[in-house]
Chains A and B, each alone.
Chain A
Amino acid sequence: MPLRLLKYALNREYKEPRFFRDCQTPKETYDAVIIGGGGHGLAAAYYLAKDHGITNVAVLEKGYIGGGNTGRNTTIVRSNYLTPDGVNFYDASVKLFEGLSEELDINLFYSNRGHFTLAHTESAMRTMRWRAEVNKHVGVKSRVVGTDEISMACPQLDISCSGKAPIQGALYHEPGSIARHDAVAWGYARGADSQGVEIFQNTEVQSIDVRDGKVHGVQTNRGYIKTGKVLSAVAGFTPRICKMVGLQTPIVIHPLQACVTEPMKPWLDTILVSGSLHVYVSQSSRGELVMGASLDPYEFHSTRSTFDFVEGLTSHIADMFPFLSNVKVVRQWAGMADMTPDFAPIMGKTPIEGFYLDAGWGTWGFKATPISGKTMAATMANDKAHDLIHSFRLSRFEDYELTGEKGAASVGH
């Protein structure tokens, strides 16, 4: 036990400073209101203050910060996407992540592991080659590797997958990393708060005041707040917020489940993903295997877990790693994934003046936390979409300019 902790145990007062102020009563007016105190919303608040000097900002969180999908993902950070727009965007995020512990002065346990996307069929190999070429073209370190290199990196892996789906090769992505996801939210919260942003927990938005196609304020359980700019960064709750302003989107909510095993000695130092077996797995710094699978098969607005999920996932994990058959799953949970038809986010301006969307983060949101905050802050400050997110605009659907990122989703298809 650190001595500091012992000192606090013997002291009547707890002198460790809070990460952010305990705000209870909102002011009458803010320059911007951010709905959703997850990584994305807090990052947007942080960059609004840091990059654009807009500090009169309120972040409204229905529960506690980082308690939604920020705390429910499997913490993988990568940029090996399929379209040049996607690769550029996520690469900018990886670069921000690499310097983030220092910038926010918090240990994010950012751990560069290397990321293998396993291919079990010739058509999957084709997609891997395609992704590798797009990545290399944009300057991201990805390459196709054979089974010998996979075995060298992870000798425990059964290359034949118990004979069911022999691995043919993989896309190896060197920058692939994992990070402590709740620390990302807390780090951004502290960074935003220290610059004057106010964070309100247990504060639910009940309605949004839109008149003449323009945002005038939001009604919350702590009273009415006047503002001309509202950012919705609420992932699985996006359709409910959009309904308040009468906006329709292509977003459909599916539960996405994950689980962890009991802690083990470190043995897996890479991140492994298999689209065919619907599995992604890495070992956390605590020693647990963090595992996720594909989406639940139909729309459902809930964070309930199912036995079907663990049963299916663990049978595939046992195909890859037969020696894990006696290891216990100790915890499982779900988040509400806001899926879009082209597996890319919906970011930027909307037909309603002053209403900005940071949504459609489906199964790929955590890795984009820093860059989505930065680009949404720029979009709100200038009332003009940042160049990096132009192709993620809501109007791409009526323009029939979808992005085609589906092939780069881990297992969602």
Chain B
Amino acid sequence: MKLLNCPINGVRPVSEFIFGGEFREMPDPSKATDSDWAAYVFYRDNAPGVKKEWWFHSPSGTWFIAERNTATDEVLATYLFGKKPAESTV
């Protein structure tokens, strides 16, 4: 992967982006048990496949979601959080 499509700034070199890790649904901190919270912070399967990830476009300060195959490095879609396109499968 050499280029990534930022939902705000368009296609930019990948060196402008920072990987933010796999997207996780955050449990309610006031209700989660210690082990729920550990599972949220640490535990994931992380086997290769299509993953929903956080990415950050550093020059513009934009956090967004990328759907990427971690075995082949193909990006299937990028969009702002909560603005998932209808054709998305993940």
A residues bordering B, Cβ < 8 Å?
239-240, 242-243, 248-253, 297-302, 308, 341, 397-398, 400
CB-based contact A250/B43 at 8 Å: yes
For B38, the chain A residues whose CB sits under 8 A away are: 397-398, 400
29 A–B contacts, CB within 8 A, in A order: A239-B45, A239-B48, A240-B48, A243-B47, A248-B39, A248-B43, A248-B45, A249-B42, A249-B46, A250-B42, A250-B44, A251-B46, A253-B46, A253-B48, A253-B70, A297-B18, A297-B19, A298-B19, A299-B19, A299-B21, A299-B46, A299-B53, A300-B70, A308-B15, A341-B42, A397-B38, A398-B39, A400-B34, A400-B38
B35 an interface residue at 8 Å Cβ cutoff?
Answer: yes
Which B residue's beta carbon lies closest to that of A308?
B15
CB-based contact A252/B46 at 8 Å: yes
* B70 contacts A398, C-beta separation under 8 Å: no
Give A398 to B39 CA distance when docked, in angstroms. Answer: 7
- Given A301-B71, A302-B73, A240 and B42 touching (CB < 8 A)? no
Nearest chain B CB to A301's CB is how many angstroms away? 4
Q: Which of B67-90 contact A (CB under 8 A)?
A: 70-71, 73
In the complex, A250→B70 CA distance in Å?
A: 16
CB pair A249–B43 under 8 Å, yes or no, is yes
Within 8 A of A (CB), among B27-76: 34-35, 38-39, 41-48, 51, 53, 70-71, 73
Given contacts A252-B21, A298-B19, A302-B71, is CB(A239)–CB(B46) below 8 Å? Answer: yes
Chain B residues near A301 (CB, 8 Å)? 48, 70-71
The size of the chain B interface, using a CB distance under 8 A, is: 22
A130 to chain B, nearest CB (A): 26
Q: Are B47 and A398 touching (Cβ within 8 A)? A: no
B43→A397 contact, CB < 8 A: yes
CA gap between A242 and B44 in the complex, in Å? 10
Give every chain A residue within 8 A of B41 (Cβ-Cβ): 397
* Whole-angstrom distance between the Cβ of B42 and the nearest chain A Cβ: 4
Contact A300 B73 (CB under 8 A): yes
Question: Could you say which residues of chain A place their CB within 8 Å of the CB of B42?
Answer: 249-250, 341, 397-398
Produce 1/0 per residue, B7-21, CB < 8 A to A. Answer: 000000001001101
Chain B residues with CB below 8 A from A300, complex form: 70, 73
Closest to B43 in A: A248
What chain B residues lie within 8 Å of A298 (beta carbons)? Answer: 19
Within 8 Å CB of B39, what residues of A? Answer: 248, 398
Give the distance to chain B from A402, nearest Cβ to Cβ, in Å: 9
- Complex CA distance for A297 and B18, rounded to whole angstroms: 8
Tell me the minimal C-beta distance from A242 to chain B in angstroms: 7
- Cα–Cα distance between A400 and B48 once the two chains are bound (Å): 27
Q: Are B47 and A239 in contact (CB under 8 A)?
A: yes
Residues of A within 8 A of B35 (CB): 398
Residues of chain A lying within 8 A (CB to CB) of residue B22 = 299
Residues of B within 8 A of A251 (CB): 46
Q: How far is the CB of A232 from chain B (nearest CB, A)?
A: 13
> Which of B21, B34, B44 is the one whose CB lies under 8 Å from A398?
B34
List the 10 closest pairs (A to B, CB-CB), nearest first.
A298-B19, A248-B43, A301-B48, A398-B38, A250-B42, A239-B46, A397-B42, A239-B47, A243-B47, A240-B47
- Collect the chain B residues with CB atoms within 8 Å of residue A243's CB: 45, 47
- A298, B75: Cα distance in complex, Å: 13
Nearest residue, chain A, Cβ from B71: A301
